[in-house]
């Protein structure tokens, strides 16, 4: 099977989507990453899901990316990446903790940590945030001291990211890279590339809600590509942006300028770009598929924003 692979599927009465039987390479426990499209429009909506034992995808969480949070009876699915369960369970996991309604809670994991690991991460997070708010003037490194989990034979490398809240006070988000011994060695060998990626992410961060399933799953895949394959994302610096085709360059520059305002309303963008709506939509879709830009719903508006590759 060549990726990306696109197919259409009906949604069952219990909100499950079935992987076609011919895709035998995708097995229970594998995590698949890609995007969905409604048959009524051309917009793309990301998903990232681990398959159940029956090779179904329970897609309730996908609704949060869809207009009106409603699932149609039939959708088009494109699988971009497959993360095999065996190597993932043994080698790598990204776990995120952030403030949610006043509680510091695990809001993402590439795979669910085993109980002993999660208990250690919970305790580390609690101790870190208590110490942080007890001494807000202390300077804290971005990459914290790694520690070893004896029971699972894993290394954990915590990463501290600070983001200003609405009053300008710094609020931490903790990312944990949970690594096998082999991956931990690769992690140390490739630390400069990992630091570069994390710095770009840190520069991109706008608000706490940026740490959601969509962005963290992209970050997880990029970290795994660096650690496992020594492959960085294709970053776009200003020289590269200026060399893009005219329409794509115009869109990218407008959206990049608006990032610190939380992105730009799609309807507003359409009025600023001198091209037909169809041509603009095609270019935006390509930029979204390349993880350069992202689209999301904010109330009744569709917002377009950058990602950290640009």
Phi and psi for 140 in degrees, rounded to 5?
A: -120, 130
- The answer to whether the pTM exceeds 0.85 is no
- pLDDT tens digits, 249-286: 999 999 999 998 889 999 999 999 988 888 998 899 88
Q: Sheet harboring 170-179: ordered strands across?
A: 103-109, 92-100, 170-179, 154-164, 147-149
- SS3 for 45? strand
**Do residues 212 and 218 lie in contact, with contact meaning Cβ atoms separated by under 8 Å?**
no
Residue in the structure block whose two tokens are 């690769």: 186
Nearest-angstrom CA–CA distance, 73 and 123: 43
Nearest-angstrom CA–CA distance, 198 and 191: 10
**Do residues 19 and 55 lie in contact, with contact meaning Cβ atoms separated by under 8 Å?**
yes
- SS3 for 263? coil
- pLDDT tens digits, 219-231: 999 999 999 999 9
- pLDDT tens digits, 196-213: 999 999 989 888 888 888
| 58 membership: H or E segment, kind and range | strand 56-58
């Amino acid at each position: 099977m060549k990726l990306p692979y696109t197919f259409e599927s009906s949604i069952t009465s219990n909100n499950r989507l079935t992987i076609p039987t011919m895709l035998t390479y995708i097995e229970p426990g594998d995590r698949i990453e890609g995007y969905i499209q409604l048959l009524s429009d051309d917009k793309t909506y990301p998903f990232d899901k681990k398959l159940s034992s029956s090779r179904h995808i329970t897609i309730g969480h996908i609704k949060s990316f869809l207009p009106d949070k409603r699932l149609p009876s039939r959708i088009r699915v494109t699988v971009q990446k497959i993360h095999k369960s065996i190597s993932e369970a043994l080698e790598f996991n990204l776990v995120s903790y952030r403030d949610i309604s006043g509680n510091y809670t695990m809001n993402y994991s590439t795979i669910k940590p085993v109980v002993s690991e999660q208990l250690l991460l919970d305790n580390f997070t609690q101790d870190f945030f208590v110490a942080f708010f007890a001494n807000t003037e202390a300077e804290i490194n971005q990459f914290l001291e790694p520690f070893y989990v004896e029971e699972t034979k894993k290394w954990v490398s915590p990463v501290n990211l600070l983001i200003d809240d609405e009053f300008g006070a710094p609020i931490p988000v903790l990312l944990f890279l949970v690594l096998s011994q082999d991956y931990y060695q690769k992690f140390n060998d490739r630390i400069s590339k990992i630091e570069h990626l994390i710095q770009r992410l840190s520069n991109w961060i706008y608000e706490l809600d940026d740490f959601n399933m969509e962005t963290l799953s992209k970050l997880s895949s990029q970290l795994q590509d660096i650690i496992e394959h020594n492959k960085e994302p294709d970053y776009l610096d200003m020289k590269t942006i200026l060399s893009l085709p005219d329409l794509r360059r115009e869109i990218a520059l407008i959206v990049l300028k608006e990032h610190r305002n939380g992105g730009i309303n799609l309807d507003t963008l359409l009025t600023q770009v001198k091209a037909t709506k169809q041509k603009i939509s095609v270019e935006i879709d390509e930029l979204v598929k390349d993880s350069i830009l992202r689209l999301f719903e904010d109330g009744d508006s569709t917002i377009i924003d950058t990602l950290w590759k640009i």
